[in-house]
Chains A and B, each alone.
Chain A
Amino acid sequence: MHPTCNRFETNVAEALVDEQLQKALARTAVGLPSARERALTKMPEFEALRDDAVELKKHVLEHLDFYLERFEQKVIEQGGKVHWCATHAEAREVILKICQDADAKTVTKGKSMIGEEIAINDYLETHGIEPVETDLGEYIIQIRKEPPSHIVGPAIHLNKEQVAESFRKTHTDLPPDRPLDDPADMLKEARTLLREQFLKADVGITGANFLVAETGSTAIVTNEGNGDLTQILPRVHIAISSIEKVVPTLEDANTILRVLARSITGQELSVYTTFSTGPKREEDPDGPDEFHVVLLDAGRSELLGNEFKDMLRCIRCGACLCYCPVYTAIGGHAYGWVYSGPMGAVLTPAILGQETARHLPNASTFCGRCEDVCPVRIPIPKMLRHWREREVEQGRASAISRIAIESWAFFAKHPALYHPIANLKYWALGLIGRKKGRFSTAPGTHGWTKHRDLPAPQGKTFQQLWSEKGGRR
C-alpha cells in the first residue's frame, strides 16, 4: 500500500470525528487490556518470563548472523529453500517467481505483517495471480481494500454492519436478501467461501512468528486455523519472515510463546501453534511438496547498529497499541501504514524513512504504558524521543513547535521569571473558569477544545504546594 504517514495530521482530524471508529476504539481499549490483565493474575511467573524473553532476544540479536546461517543450513538439510531479500522489491520478485514457477493461479495467505509490508497482494494481482487472505479480519480488509488497523485484529476498527455491507457488495453470487445481522452469519459465509479457496490454491503464503535455528522450522500462531490450511493444502508453502525472528532452540520458542498470546488476548496460547520443517516427507500423506522461506531485511540490519536496536526485540503482540492513549483515540489507519500505535511510531520511520513518517514519533504522550505492557520491555518512549531529537537536529520540526519549545526552555532556565508568570497565568485562568471549572474554548487551544473541554486550574500549583510543605529545592 501507498503510505499516508505524511497526512498524519489530517488522518487524525478525520479519525477523531468518525463516530463509528470511536465506538470500535472504545471497545478495543477495554476488551483486550482486561483480557490480558485477567490472564496475568493466573501466571505468577509472568515478570520472570518477560525477563527471560528479553535476555533471549538480546542474545539472539548479538549473534543474529550466526543464528540466521544455522537456520538456513537446517532448512536446506530438510529440503527447503531460503531466499535472502534486502528490500521489499526483492522479496516481491522472489515470491512472484516462486508462484510463477508453480504455475499458480490462486494463492492463499495466512496473516503476515511482512506480507503487508511488502504489499505482496497488489503485486501478485498485477501479475495475474489472485491472492486470497484467509484470516477473517485480513479477508474483511482485503475486500474493503484497507490496510490492517491492528497487528492482531486487522479489522478491529469496523462494526458488523460495515462487514455485512462489504460481504453483500463482494459476494454477489449469493442471495442479496440473505440475513447477515449476526457475526455468526458472516462467519459461516466466509468459512464456506474460503474453504473453496483453500482447496483450490496452488501456493500458500504464511508469515512466521519465529524461526527455530536448531531445526530449521518456521512457526506460526493463529486462532482460526487458516494459517494451517494455507500451508498444508497447496503444493507450495512460502513462509515470509523478517530476519530478527530467529530463536536458537525449540525451548527458546516456549519462552516467546508463554508471553505472546497472554499479552494481548489473555490466552495461554493461541489455538494453533504450528512448527513447519521442510516439505512433506516420504511417509506424509499430506503437506506441501515445496517449502520456501523468504527472509526480509528492509533496513533491520542497519537498526541493529543504532539507537533503535531494541525495537528488533518486538514479537508483534500488539499490546502497546491497546494500551496507548493515542492509538485508542485515533485508531491504526491514522498512522498511515502497516504498523501503528507506539511500536509503529518507532518502526515505520525506520523502515520507510523519517521523511515519510516524521509525524508518527510525535504521536505520543510519553505516558509510558507501552513500555510497561511490552512483554520484551522495549523502551518505546526513549526511542520516540530519539526520533524527535533527529527531527529537530535535521531541522524538520515545524517553526511553531521550535519557537514554542525554545521560548519555554528560556523561561524554564530562568525560574525567577518562570514562576511569577506561570502563577499569574494559573490565577487568571482559574478565576475566569471558576464558574464552570472548564473551558469549552480558549485562544490557541482549538485542536484540543474541539473534542473536549480544557479543565480550569483549581487550587494551588505544584510549586506552591511544594514550598508550603517545606519541600527542598
Chain B
Amino acid sequence: MSGSRQQILSNLRKSLGRGPLDEAKVKELEKNMRRPKNRVVPARGQIRGAKRKELFIQMAEACDCSVVQVASLADVPKAAAEFLRDNNLPASIRVAPHEDLKDLGWSENVSFGLAGDDDPVGLTKAWAGFAESGTLMALSGAEGPTTLNFLPDTFIAVLEAKDLLGTYEEGWKKLRGRKQSGTFMPRTVNWITGPSRSADIELTLQLGVHGPRRVHILLVDEDK
C-alpha cells in the first residue's frame, strides 16, 4: 500500500510536469496555511449588535428553527419547559454536562450526559452561532456530547449573545484562539442549520429524517 502512496504521488508530479516542490515553495505554502487567505466573505454577515441578532433570528427561522429570547441562563429551564409544554412534547430532557448548564435549578426529569436512543429531548450549549445563515456551531468534548445533537427527536440549543458571530470566518478565528492543549480542533465540529430534513421522495420536503424534527434556540441576551 505504501507502494500506492508513492505511485499516486509520483503520478501527480508527472502530470504536473515537476518533481517534489522545492524547499522555498514548501515554506511559502506552509506559511500561507498558517495565515489563511482573505477570501470573499458575503457582506450580509459582517454586521454587529442588534442587526446581527436580528439577522440570526431571521435566518434560523427561515430554515425552520424556532427562536426564543431569554434574559439570562437562569431562565433556561423555565423557557425549555414552556417550549416542550406548548408543543405537547415529553418533558424529560437530557442535558449536556456543560459548566454553564449544570446548576440552573432543573426539575426532576432532567439528566446529564450523552444521548441514548430513547431520549426524546436533548439540550446543549452552542459554542457559537452564525448570523450569516442562522447556523449553530457545536464542539465535541466533555461538555458537548455529539450524540445529543442528533439522537433526540427535539433539540434545544442555548446560545449566548456573546457567542453569536457574524460569519463562518469568525467561528474559525474563535476556535483557533481556544485555550487547549494540542490541536485547537476538537474531534467533531458540527454546524447545524435547522432540523434534519429530506426531499428524497418526490422532492417533498419532510423534517426529522434521522436527526431532530425540531430545533429550538434559546438565545440568552440581557438586552432581549
Interface residues of A (CB under 8 A from B): 24, 27-28, 31-32, 43-45, 48-49, 51-52, 56, 62-66, 68-70, 77-78, 83-86, 90, 94, 134-137, 140, 153-156, 158-160, 163, 183-184, 186-187, 190-191, 194-195, 198-199, 213-215, 217, 223-226, 228-229, 232-233, 243, 248-252, 254-255, 257-258, 265, 267-281, 283-287, 295, 297, 301-306, 309
Contact = CB atoms under 8 A, between A and B. Distances in A.
B203 A250 contact: no
7 contacts: A45-B40, A45-B43, A191-B209, A267-B193, A269-B133, A284-B146, A305-B16
A268 B132 contact: yes
Contacts of A309: 15
B39 A254 contact: yes
Closest 8 CB pairs of A and B: A225-B211, A305-B15, A301-B11, A137-B200, A268-B133, A304-B15, A251-B36, A84-B5
Nearest to B6: A84
B210 A286 contact: no
A226 B209 contact: yes
Interface stretch (B67-75, B102-110, B137-145, B216-224): B137-145
Nearest to A255: B39
A47 B75 CA distance: 44
Contacts of A52: 39-40
A286 B114 contact: yes
A305 B16 CA distance: 6
Interface stretch (B77-85, B119-127, B157-165, B183-191): B183-191
B198 A137 contact: yes
Contact of B203 (A31, A77, A251, A287): A31
Contact of B140 (A155, A217, A287, A295): A287
Nearest to B212: A225
Contact of A199 (B4, B117, B141): B117
A65 B150 contact: no
B145 A136 contact: no
A269 B193 contact: yes
A472 to B, nearest CB: 42
B16 A304 contact: yes
Contacts of B166: none
**Which among A191, A285, A297, A309 has the highest number of chain B CB atoms within 10 Å?**
A285
Contacts of A265: 199
Contact of A249 (B16, B36, B186, B189): B36
B37 interface: yes
A268 B150 CA distance: 20
Contacts of A278: 187
A86 B33 contact: no
B206 A183 contact: yes
The winner among A27, A224, A268 for most chain B CB atoms within 10 A is A268
B26 interface: yes
Contacts of B192: 271-272
Given A136-B201, A225-B212, 13 more contacts: A68-B9, A86-B8, A137-B198, A137-B200, A187-B208, A223-B198, A223-B209, A272-B190, A275-B189, A277-B186, A280-B140, A286-B147, A287-B187
Contacts of B89: none
A159 B203 CA distance: 10
Given A84-B8, A224-B196, A276 B210 contact: no
A275 B151 CA distance: 18
A195 B208 CA distance: 12
A214 B187 contact: no
B197 to A, nearest CB: 5
B120 to A, nearest CB: 13
A153 B199 contact: yes
B39 A271 contact: no
A305 to B, nearest CB: 3
A283 B199 CA distance: 37
Contacts of B188: 232, 274-277, 287
Given A136-B201, A155-B201, A284 B16 contact: no
Nearest to A274: B190
A332 B204 CA distance: 20
A135 B203 contact: no
A281 B175 CA distance: 17
Contacts of A276: 187-188
Given A225-B196, A302-B11, A305-B17, A134 B210 contact: yes
A286 B96 CA distance: 12
Nearest to A51: B40
Contacts of A226: 209-210
Contacts of A186: 201
A223 B193 CA distance: 9
Given A233-B147, A275-B189, A63 B29 contact: yes
A244 B7 CA distance: 16
Contacts of A191: 208-210
Contacts of B9: 65, 68-69
B195 interface: yes
A156 B133 CA distance: 27
Interface string B37-72: 101111110000000000000010001000000000
Interface in B1-24: 1-2, 4-5, 7-9, 11-17, 20-21
A414 B216 CA distance: 72
B193 A273 contact: yes
Nearest to B176: A250
B154 interface: no
B169 interface: yes
B29 to A, nearest CB: 6
A232 B198 CA distance: 20
A350 to B, nearest CB: 13
